[in-house]
Structure 1
Amino acid sequence: MFWNIRGFGVRGRRTMLKDYLRKHRIDIVCLQETIEQDFTDQELRSLEVGETFVWCWLPASGRSGGMLMGFRESMFEIGAIDTGRHFVSVDVILRPARLSLRIFGVYGPADHALSASFLQELSIEVQNTPLAIIMGGDFNLLRTEQDKNNDRIN
């Protein structure tokens, strides 16, 4: 599950998240725009709905950004964890299939002047990855005017 949560501390968001994790038995969760520098063990354990998760995160930059990724421990062996300016990647082995993957959580810059460096950072990471990749998140990129939810096109 990839979700731009727009503030981990916003009232009701954690309850929504826990309900969704429980209802759909989510194995991987990646939250973008947490606007959090750090997470306590208590906060992270409170999100676990019956099973233990392995957690990693990328701190927010001031009052924007930040990511949190969690992996259901019964489903995944966790290997290398890497962070960049706009991503968190985790090497995992899917236990039932013994399948190795690299999972990328992405939160692209809202400042489109930084889009080229963001895409270059991801390109380098992908080119240097020998594993199959799953990548998701909020890329903050527009391909067409129809991608916008308002008429402010810049």
Structure 2
Amino acid sequence: MSINLRGWGDAAKLRRLSSLLHSGAFDMCLLQETKRSAFTDSMIHGLWGYKEVVWVAKESIGLSGGMLSIWNKDLFSFRFSFTGVGFLGICVEWKNRLLYIVNIYSPCSLAGKRKLWKDLLEFKSNNAIGDWVLGGDSNAISKSGERRGNSGSKSLSERSEFSLFMEAMEVIDTPVLGKKFTWFNSDGSAMSRLDRFLLSEGFIHQGGVSYQWIGDRDISDHCPIWLECSNHNWGPKPFKFNNCWVDHPEFLDLVKKNWAQSDVRGTKTFVISEKMKRLKEALKKWNRDVFGFKDLCIDKTVRELNEVEDLIANGDVYPTDLNSKELVRNFWEQIHSKESLLRQKSRNEVDSRRRF
């Protein structure tokens, strides 16, 4: 998955991002515009949900830029990382082949994009042959239909040069499903497909890539994008759960009670496996009971916002006819309200312990 974050944000935004990552069970994530100068293992573990993870980062300059690439430890064999203006890459061994995965956060200026494209082409020509995955915010379009509501004198030149870059890199812009655009301005009057994955033919074949999906806009004015693969096997999926569960005062007692009451007989391996299955179902039900209403409200707002933007993108309504700004405001109020509730419950639990 790839997404331009528009800033690392506060605890509410990070909790929402973590929830989005867990909902898709993604094996790798490319984040752009983190606006952070430093990261720690504990920050990454908290976001990803467990510790068997590897990451590389490109620090921001002040509050500008910044990139972060995260992946499951057993996904492939890491060899080295490389970086330049507008990109953060890694070279790995995957399926007995070299694979270069590049996190892209392209400069806005055409001169900056030209340098980015030139640097990547030079890197490719000076390194061992391998497959390529370029993912992130390209800040460019390749066709006129990928932008609506704004234009510029350099658009035609930029589209031509971007297409030439893709041809020289020997990467393909695979078919897109989901939404039409990946970026929307605040009132829906302008939109573009700035974010994408560009893949070499070898990776498409080896990974069984069918298409790239543009997901619903959520915590950023950019939509997340991800690859859909028909026959890939990235390794076992670890059990993931929402990080906010451990902050809830009922969580630990629920786990202990469920584990103790699960009467399972058989070999040790079978008993543990069955108990884990029952615990997982109990946690799902508990999550719906405890967090369900808040999450339903948030999901409803996200759904309404994306429906409005789809209507505008399809030309069915004018941006002035629908108020997407109000939906964005409601979304942020709701996730901060949920965060406040979680913090309050946590404080209440600490206070009750102190009384005894």
Is the 8 Å Cα contact of residues 45 and 51 (structure 2) preserved in structure 1? no
Contact 1:89 1:102 in 2 (8 A): yes
Letter in 2 for 1:89: G
Q: Which residue of 2 aligns with 1:84?
A: 84
| TM-score using structure 1 length | 0.86
State the SS of the aligned residue for 1:70: strand
Instruction: Give the whole-Å Cα distance in 2 for the aligned partners of 1:153 and 1:117.
Output: 20
CA distance 1:146–1:61, shift in 2 (3 Å)? farther
Q: Residue 48 of structure 1 aligns with which residue?
A: 48
Taking the TM superposition and a 5 Å limit, the aligned residue runs for 1:5-154 are: 5-10=5-10, 12-50=12-50, 52-94=52-94, 97-129=95-127, 130-154=129-153
1:6·1:35 contact (CA, 8 Å) conserved in 2?
A: yes
1:17 to 1:93, Cα distance in 2 relative to 1, 3 A: farther
The separation in 1 between residues aligned to 2:34 and 2:100, in whole angstroms, is 22
Higher helix share: 2
Distance 1:144 1:34 in 2: 28
Question: Aligned partners of 1:145 and 1:134: how far apart in 2?
Answer: 24
Cα deviation 1:91-139 (Å, max 9, x = unaligned): 1223xx4443111111110122322112111211222342111111111
Paired letter, 1:3: I
143-152 vs 30-39, which deviates more? 143-152
Q: Answer yes or no: is the 8 Å Cα contact 1:6–1:33 preserved in 2.
A: yes
Q: 1:17 to 1:99 in 2, by over 3 A?
A: farther
Mapped to 2, the partners of 1:49 and 1:99 lie a distance apart of 29
Taking the aligned partners of 2:148 and 2:34, their CA distance within structure 1 comes to 22
How many residues are treated as equivalent by the alignment?
Answer: 152
Q: Cα deviations across residues 48-67 of structure 1 (Å, max 9, x unaligned)?
A: 22452111111112322110
- Which runs of at least 4 in structure 1 moved beyond 6 Å after TM superposition? none
What is the Cα deviation at residue 151 of structure 1?
2.1
Higher relative contact order (CA 8 A, sep 6+): 1
After TM superposition, give the deviation of residue 70 of structure 1 in Å.
Answer: 0.7
Matched residue type, 1:90: I
8 Å Cα contact 1:4-1:33 kept in structure 2 = yes
Gaps of 5+ in 1: none
Task: Specify the code of the residue in structure 2 equivalent to 1:142.
Answer: I
Cross-structure match for 2:239: none
Distance 1:57 1:105, change over 3 A: same
Q: Is the 8 A contact 1:57 1:88 kept in 2?
A: yes
Show CA shifts across 1:35-88 (max 9, x none). 111112221111122452111111112322110001100222211111112111
Preserved contact between residue 21 and residue 49 of structure 1 (Cα < 8 Å): no
Instruction: Report if the CA contact (8 A) 2:87-2:116 is conserved.
Output: no
The 1:80/1:4 distance shift into structure 2, 3 A limit, reads same
- TM-score by structure 2 length? 0.40
- Flag structure 2 segments of 5+ consecutive residues without an equivalent: 154-356
Deviation, 1:144, is: 4.2
Which letter does structure 2 place at the counterpart of 1:121?
A: D
Deviates more, 1:22-31 or 1:46-55: 46-55
Cα distance between partner residues in 2 of 1:62 and 1:125: 27
